Structure 1
């Protein structure tokens, strides 16, 4: 600078030194602020990482519990399905006698009682009982 403009006056030199000193102070303050922000961000990242690990542990515990429940339910369904399968060793349920429409309350009661017991022993679903009962009506009872 001195080569191009010449020697600056002493007061100008003092101002320049003061400005340079102030700039150095500002840079040091800025560096301190940046360092403080860096420490704060690192602390938050560490805290968040710990929170994520804790949540991951909780989620894994929940997943394990749900998996266990699903396994138990599968076993129960398989067991229930196996118990309801028809097998050749089960007793054959005798079919009820058909009802011909006799005008006797006693015969009607016997027929209805037989049908009820047949449905219970054969484990017939409710939706099929009426149709099966109709198949056991003969003669005038069909009308």
Structure 2
């Protein structure tokens, strides 16, 4: 389908351009649910097309049976008058046989359609739940994202009896930048500590600038 091809192209582009970003992470977090929705919709379309084909075949068979009945009836009517008793018995036998065959075919069709309807109802219920999940993800953004593959995980320097305050703040700032590039923006994980790298003046809340608002003031 066209939607599946577009999705494959998007996956290839994402593989060629590994640059992380909060917006791209939000989009990639919805790819799996959307891909699942596309697969389910495709299966539903296939089932519906198969049901339509079965109904068309049954209609053609009924039309053929009706033509055969009319042909047999015309031949029975052409029999001589002296064979009216035999003709009537044959007509009754043919009608009973055709009626039984048609009723059996209708019952089989009803069972098949009922099974397909039940399956489609289950698919629709699952699709509704997945659509609700996708809406929540798109509205709230990704809660958990995979770490950026092209960024090195920040590590503190080895402890040598004392810690330098600037080195500690620089490490915390690098860690915050790493999580930000990974798409992790949970206030529960970072409730207060949003630090500014050493050498960049902190921004006072309500003012403008390129720094970050911080609850930890870097050393002068």
Q: Which has the higher contact order (CA 8 A, sep 6+)?
A: 2
TM-score (norm 1): 0.44
TM-score (norm 2): 0.30
